[in-house]
Amino acid sequence: MEIRTFFKLKINIDDLDDTMPSKQKCAKVYKTELLIDGKDNNEIQLKIYFDDKEYLGEKIMQWNPNMDSNLLDNFKVIEIISPENLLEIDFSNYRCKGMEKPTAFYESNLKYFIIRLTGIRKTYKNSENAPSEVYLNQQAFGLIEMNYRYNSNFPWSKEEYNWTPINQIKEYVQFGKISFKPEYHFFNSTKNNLENISIHKEPRLTIEFNDLNVSEIKNHIELICTLYSLYSLENIDYSFSRIYTKDNLHVEIRDVSNTSVKDFHGLFRWDLYQGPLTLFKYVDSNHLLKNLFFYKKIVDRFIYAQKTSGESKFMILYNILEQVRNQYILDGMIETKKAGETPNLRKVIEEYRFNLSKTKTDIFIKEALEKIIEIVSEEDKELFKNEIMYKLTPIKVVSMKNQFQSLFDYIKIDPKDFDLNFLELKILRDSIFHGRPIIKDLEKLNKINKSKCLPKFVGTVILNYSGINDLKKNNRIDKK
């Protein structure tokens, strides 16, 4: 018999009773049950019991009708009731994704209502020595399937039928401070059916490590998922993890997206010879772990860009270049003289050097622009005159192509190799940014947005940041 999970929940909402002042005041602390339905995309629920005279469920719904803030920020677990070996329940960093109105049903003479969560973490006291494991979402099926071959020939003689899945990755893959094996978990989903057997499989990673805390392990897992995502251009995530540390078992359950994927090879199918495993071999894992938040952000944006088109796709990709350049500056890799000993982006303003002081330079440029007024049409003269003060800085700033040149030189990449003219990119970017019509440039925009052009260029910049400096030098990985 499965032991139900109960705990005491404190609700820290001072003005909660103000929503229904005529009703009995809330007790603030409530017996709560954690319910998890793994069959329904990890449906995670808090079942909160209360005295029906309090109208707790109705008060919560009136207090937070649109869920603009995270309701869970006001909840705190103060005592575990059962099971005995459960040490902690944590739903920080997760959100409330819906509430169910209190029903007419009671349990132990108490009414209850349900709050649905996007995730939960549980820590158990544990002495079991077992491999840690992480179950991936449906988008990962193709990535794991590429590692398998099957002996599935149906025999027509008296020979017994044998279906054998063979994972061609025999050994654990070393990655950072952990090692992992991408594999399937096979199971019989028809245990009570004596006539038919249905074998199901779930993509997962089994993980081994030494002397790491749970936070370090999860950072490795998140980076692995990010690299799988970069390779496939799909959102690879984990829905369930079971991590064993010295004396504890850490379980995390998350509600993640699950969609079918037809093509999981992304843009670099022919460059990464052994698929995503090439990434795990060549990337600088230590560098990426130190910059995990930034790296996940740019990969997420890169994937999102591939699912858009037109101006949106172009601007997202261009912004990724800007973000990567800024990060190289902050990492002290480029523009070191301008950025300073403690890199500061504000110091890296690419302006021409002038022989005059700043004040005299501005006056000189202003007077030069005022001379142009005489060739401006009468209806626009006043407008041009009023905007002169806003044109001083742009004239002093070096073109965007030159602002990026230090990055391109450092990572040894040339836009021309991707059939791109960076000056054209800059002009197009400015037109879109300032809301100018680009009808005449649509053909040019569509050409730039082709997979082999700007997307492949930006993807290669991301690979360079990952530690893969030359795709041509990647060696094949032998599957043992």
Quick: pLDDT tens for 102-145.
776 788 888 998 999 999 999 999 878 888 999 999 999 999 99
Render pLDDT for 437-467 as a digit per residue (tens, 0 to 9).
788 889 999 999 999 999 999 999 999 999 9
Residue 225: the pLDDT is: 98
Q: What is the pTM of this model?
A: 0.85
What is the rounded distance in angstroms from the CA atom of residue 58 to the CA atom of residue 26? Answer: 12
Render pLDDT for 297-326 as a digit per residue (tens, 0 to 9).
999 999 999 999 999 999 999 999 999 998
Residues with Cβ within 8 Å of 277's Cβ and at least 6 positions away in sequence, in order, are: 169, 173, 477
Residue 332: the pLDDT is: 85
What are the residue boundaries of the structural domains of the chain, listed by start?
5-118, 132-266, 315-471
Per-residue pLDDT for 68 more than 90? Answer: no
Render pLDDT for 409-442 as a digit per residue (tens, 0 to 9).
999 999 999 999 988 898 888 888 878 778 888 9
Average pLDDT over residues 333-339: 76
Which is higher by pLDDT, 165 or 197? 165
What is the rounded distance in angstroms from the CA atom of residue 61 to the CA atom of residue 38? Answer: 26
CB 239 within 8 A of CB 221: no
Residue 401: the pLDDT is: 45
From 234, 47, 272, select the one nearest 138 (Cα to Cα): 234
Residues with Cβ within 8 Å of 476's Cβ and at least 6 positions away in sequence, in order, are: 273, 274
